[in-house]
Structure 1
Amino acid sequence: MMKKYRKEADKLFMGKKGTKKHQKARNDIDRYHGTDQFETAVKTYLDQYGLPDDWSTLSLLLDYSNSGSVLQALAAMKDIYETRSLVEKQGFRAKVDILAMTASDSDLRDFAEEMLKTL
């Protein structure tokens, strides 16, 4: 009984991010990654809930076409980088390296290059 109350209290503190609708929107990003529907899924999520809190969804956002959103995702991931596993850190560094070399937006490219120096 206490677990149920705690779960409900956690949802209350999470606000919109504690709903089934939020979970579906987050799952849509994962499900549509690599498809034509990915851009719409990310835009819908960001418009409704803002930047995600979890590492896996943030990492998917690095493939989004909006460089401003990618910059925000990179900054958020940098803040929690040290708490991640070695494999996650290596994957993140590789992704940042690719962004530093290939991003068409100069601000994003510069940010990624600077970030690589600190990882």
Structure 2
Amino acid sequence: MSYGEKHPSGSVLKDIGLQRPKSQRGDFFYIENISKETISDIDGDILFFASWEREDDKKTLEKLKQSSLWSKLKVIQRNQVYFVGSHWHQSDIFAINAILDDLERYLVNTP
């Protein structure tokens, strides 16, 4: 799933002026059921892999890493995938602040 501009996390990204792939821009809540055929829709400079912090999420990411289509994404080739927490799924002020902390950590304070 990829969050659109109507989702709180997508709204934060839009509000700070972060450029997103064309497929992720627009007046929608999220893109559901990203398949092998549409995986390129999530390609960008950076990918935030939002997790409910469950072991299954880590297994899903490991399974994706085994896919040849996944490895063709530019973001994967540049090793710019960041595992972020469940706060990206939420909309309260604490979640928004945690998202901003993630953005600072991965976009501003990068080596």
Q: Which of the pair is proportionally richer in helix?
A: 1
TM bracket (short chain): 0.3 to 0.5
Could you tell me the TM-score, scaled by structure 2's length? 0.34
Could you tell me the TM-score, scaled by structure 1's length? 0.32
Q: Which of the pair is proportionally richer in strand?
A: 2
- Higher RCO (Cα < 8 Å, 6 or more apart): 2
